[in-house]
Structure 1
Amino acid sequence: MSENKNYQHPDVQEAENDELEIDWMEILRKIIAIRKTLYKAAGVGVVLGIIIALSIPKQYTVTVTLSPEMVGDKAGGGLASLASSFLGGAATSNSPDALNVTLAPDIVASTPFVLELFNTHVQTLDGELDTTLVAYLDEQKTPWFSYIVKAPGMAIGAIKSLFSEEADTVSVLNPFQLTKKEASLVEGIKQAITAEVDLKTAKTTISVTLQDPKVTAIVADSVVAKLQQYIIDYRIKKAKEDCAYLEQLYKERQQEYYDAQSKYAHYFDSNRNIALQSVRAEQERLQNDMNLAYQVYSQVAQQLQVARAKIQEEKPVFAVVEPASIPLEPSGTSRKTILLGIVFLAICGAGIWMLLGIPFWKEIKEKIQ
């Protein structure tokens, strides 16, 4: 029989357990020995936590959920077939709409869309500010420690401003060439507004985060309205272009029919009492031309009526599942959590430095000496 190599004598196991218990007790004794330092670190953490927690402004988040109309293939076969019949080609195939729900995040994050929000009228909950969104962004509070990080860049910018004539105020917006301040405001709005799409349900969720609850709700409602209008304008634009094309086609075919009708009537009146076969053949040809022109004219008239009705039909329907409302509680990490987190980090940092950092530093100094 082979011996069990993992077997240990009970006395050996008890010795190892005692040694492990002694190690833990030693750590506990060291922690107790430095308890005053830990108390001081906790006090420093409380002071620092209060300063940081109070310096971080509250933020409020408003979330709006939309359920857009699901649009499949466009019912444009009639118009495509009609155009094909005149041009002599094959009918074009239907394709899904180029502007589907999955593009909502890209639309909301696009610079032209954000620029349209600049002049959105907003009002704070306390009523002290009644201005535009771009002006409100300048009034938002910034943590004091952010100025420390931005100090080098602000100094460089101040020096450059002495040698440049760039205006500080936002003038006529030009998406093709934004100023530094305009680009900064655009990035700030892009960070405040997010949009997500559930590919399974096609629901679009739009979230806006700002420092005033009423302003946040107003901006969220404005973003939803502009997004809806953007999609509606796009869809109606296509339908209007189709309708305008049929209007022109209708007038051309109407004039062709009137011309053919006039030629037939004039020839018929001029040769009414003539019994020649050539006259009858020409009369029959003119009558056939008139009938054919009327058939084409009638088809175009029907398609025009359909296109006119399609303008209203093309407007997408958006069901607002969760509308915008003024939030009652701030979002993000609470001040209590920030305070407790900083105190915990201060205690852990002091304890690690006292138990591990100082002995390790002394050992390094001894080796160097």
Structure 2
Amino acid sequence: MTENKNYQNPDVQEPENDELEIDWMEILRKIIAIRKTLYKAAGVGLVLGIIIALSIPKQYTVTVTLSPEMGGDKSSGGLASLASSFLGGGANSNSSDALNVALAPDIVASTPFVLELFDTHIQTLDGNIDTTLVAYLDEQKGPWWSYIKAVPNMAIEAIKSLFTEKADTIAILNPFQLTEKEYLKVEGLRKAVTAEVDKKTAMTTVTVTLQDPKVTAMVADSVVGKLQQYIIDYRIKKAKEDCAYLEELYKERQQEYYQAQSKYAHYFDTNRNIAFQSVRAEQERLQNDMNLAYQVYSQVAQQLQVARAKIQEEKPVFAVVEPATIPLQPSGTSRKVILVGVVFFVVCVTGMWKLFGLRYWQLLKKNKQ
């Protein structure tokens, strides 16, 4: 009888080799062995971190918070209720308005709105620059590597300038067709100026980040003012159109009433002592025309007064919870954090290369040979 050599006792199991055992003491000994290399890497990282930290210009951030003034039902016709339906309702509003506070981020990021900011008058904190925002954008500094990236474009522009004549006329910004330089400024300002809306509270937060604290505060204040005016102009646009139409209609009906009144008075004075029935009939007809013209004229006058009052009622109400103020401290990642981060990154990369990468690189070179 032959014995099955492949038979294994089910009670006897092979030891599991799936778990990876890490010898931390061995790794620690290797790290101690390459400590001098890590010290050198830390020194290199320190120098590199200082260069990077000093190359990144300081940024200042100003945040302005707007809140709509809540009111009752819009049907009440009050100013607060209109503002609430336009601004405070958020996503829950049943208003038929095509524009509400939820669109504030899109308004601020739109090209026409950004182009309107170009003419904003600004002044730096030290007073050395007093100009428009579009001119100040050329004065902002960038890290040294941004200039290296811009060298090819600068060379291309220089070559183009040799074959094109410079125009002496002042260029007018055209939102439909922007030049490359204008487009880059619009994109940069669009990133620097943002708006967010809290759907629950309808609070609108406008944030501006630039390199000078006073310029940042002035631009933030201008953005808030233009945003408020943009929304107000939209809200009262229909009311103004209705009012303008009623103004024209009022003048026409007034002229018709004056003409009917003049005809009646002239006919009455001319035929005052005549007792013919035909004269009385014509006089009565002219009087009815005058009364009808007066009724229409009076109704249009009342509608005109209502339209004029509606312009004021349609204006939304804003409450600036947090106004624009000049920041005292720069925003963003501090230079100390950048320095520590670069040193840590260089040391970690060097250590990983010495402990693992170099070994696998040598094995790869042997396999190729």
Q: CA deviation at 1:45?
A: 0.7
Shift in CA distance, 117/271, structure 1 to aligned 2, threshold 3 Å: same
Shift in CA distance, 16/288, structure 1 to aligned 2, threshold 3 Å: closer
Shift in CA distance, 47/103, structure 1 to aligned 2, threshold 3 Å: same
Distance, in Å, in 1 between the alignment partners of 2:254 and 2:303 is 14
Q: CA deviation at 1:53?
A: 0.4
Q: CA deviation at 1:267?
A: 5.0
Equivalent residue runs for 1:148-159 within 5 Å: 148-159=148-159
| Matched position secondary structure for 1:209 | strand
Shift in CA distance, 186/148, structure 1 to aligned 2, threshold 3 Å: same
Equivalent residue number for residue 30 of structure 1: 30
| Matched position secondary structure for 1:139 | coil
Distance, in Å, in 1 between the alignment partners of 2:232 and 2:136 is 29
| Matched position secondary structure for 2:196 | strand
Distance, in Å, in 2 between the alignment partners of 1:293 and 1:187 is 59
Q: CA deviation at 1:281?
A: 5.4
What count of residue pairs does the alignment treat as equivalent? 342
The answer to whether the 8 A contact 1:239-1:310 is kept is: yes
Equivalent residue runs for 1:103-122 within 5 Å: 103-122=103-122
Equivalent residue runs for 1:195-344 within 5 Å: 195-266=195-266, 268=268, 270=271, 273-274=274-275, 276=277, 283-344=283-344
* 1:23-76 per-position Cα deviation (integer Å, ceiling 9, x unaligned): 121111111111111111111111100110011011000001111356986899
Farther-moved stretch of structure 1 (261-270 vs 326-335): 261-270
Q: CA deviation at 1:337?
A: 0.9
Equivalent residue runs for 1:133-172 within 5 Å: 133-165=133-165, 171-172=171-172
Equivalent residue runs for 1:6-85 within 5 Å: 20=21, 23-69=23-69
Letter in 2 for 1:241: E
| Matched position secondary structure for 1:138 | coil
2:125 corresponds to 1:125: yes
Q: CA deviation at 1:246?
A: 0.8
The answer to whether the 8 A contact 1:58-1:211 is kept is: yes
Alignment gaps of 5+ in structure 1: 77-93
* 1:124-171 per-position Cα deviation (integer Å, ceiling 9, x unaligned): 112222222122211111101122233333333332332233569973
Distance, in Å, in 2 between the alignment partners of 1:214 and 1:323 is 14
Q: CA deviation at 1:181?
A: 1.9
What is the Cα-based RMSD across aligned positions, in Å?
A: 3.2
2:364 corresponds to 1:364: yes
Alignment gaps of 5+ in structure 2: 1-9, 78-93
* 1:306-340 per-position Cα deviation (integer Å, ceiling 9, x unaligned): 22233333332221110000111111111111111
Shift in CA distance, 73/60, structure 1 to aligned 2, threshold 3 Å: same
The answer to whether the 8 A contact 1:271-1:279 is kept is: no
Q: Identity of aligned pairs, percent?
A: 76
Distance, in Å, in 1 between the alignment partners of 2:169 and 2:28 is 62
Equivalent residue number for residue 183 of structure 1: 183
| Matched position secondary structure for 1:239 | helix
The answer to whether the 8 A contact 1:170-1:182 is kept is: no
Q: CA deviation at 1:347?
A: 1.0
Letter in 1 for 2:234: Y
Letter in 2 for 1:117: L
Shift in CA distance, 36/177, structure 1 to aligned 2, threshold 3 Å: same
Equivalent residue number for residue 87 of structure 2: none
Farther-moved stretch of structure 1 (286-295 vs 100-109): 286-295
Farther-moved stretch of structure 1 (213-222 vs 158-167): 158-167
